[in-house]
Amino acid sequence: MFKLEIKKYGNPVLRTKCEEVKEINEEVRSLAKDMLKIMYREDGVGLAAPQIGDKRRIIVVDIGQGPLSLINPQILIKSKKTFRDYEGCLSLPGINLKIKRAKKVEIQGFLLEKNQLVKIQAEGLLARDFQHEIDHLNGVLIIDHTSPFKKLRAIRKLKKKLRV
């Protein structure tokens, strides 16, 4: 098997709206396991399929409480209460931006670790992580949540670092 790698800013797959997974088979399960390996190798707390070039709605997260591999995740409810905190992204190396997110979310998806459709209520870092990864499935990056000036500054930094 070829070595999967993180797609960096400038790769068009990062701006793609991902497709729903129609069948949860061994290939999908294997991809999720590979995504976890990559996430751990890169010291991340989450990874979405487009970050490795796959256009399906698959995310993996682990904030230190064990891995969660979700197929077709969607946010059902976002709290009105928000908080700002710094976020980085494996696809945007060297960029850390203060991003405003809902403090609590309720998501739904097929959880591979339990082999069933689940609803998960999350708050704090886990809620932030879910929102970040689900954004990736919709072609949204953290730079899209900042002011035009901060976005431009981040893009310049990325282009210089990545030679895009």
Tokens 């989450």, located at residue: 46
Greatest Cα-to-Cα distance within the chain, rounded to the nearest angstrom: 45
Tokens 């850390």, located at residue: 96
- Could you give the CA distance from residue 22 to residue 25 in angstroms, rounded to a whole number? 9
List CB contacts of 89: < 8 A, sequence separation 6 or more: 95, 132, 141, 142
List CB contacts of 48: < 8 A, sequence separation 6 or more: 18, 58, 59, 133, 134, 136, 137
Let me know how long the chain is.
164
Q: Bridge partners of 48?
A: 59
133 is catalytic: yes
Cα Rg, the chain, nearest whole Å: 15
Q: Of 19, 26, 106, 133, which residue is the catalytic one?
A: 133
Nearest to 105 by CA among 72, 73, 79: 79
Q: Which residues are catalytic?
A: 133
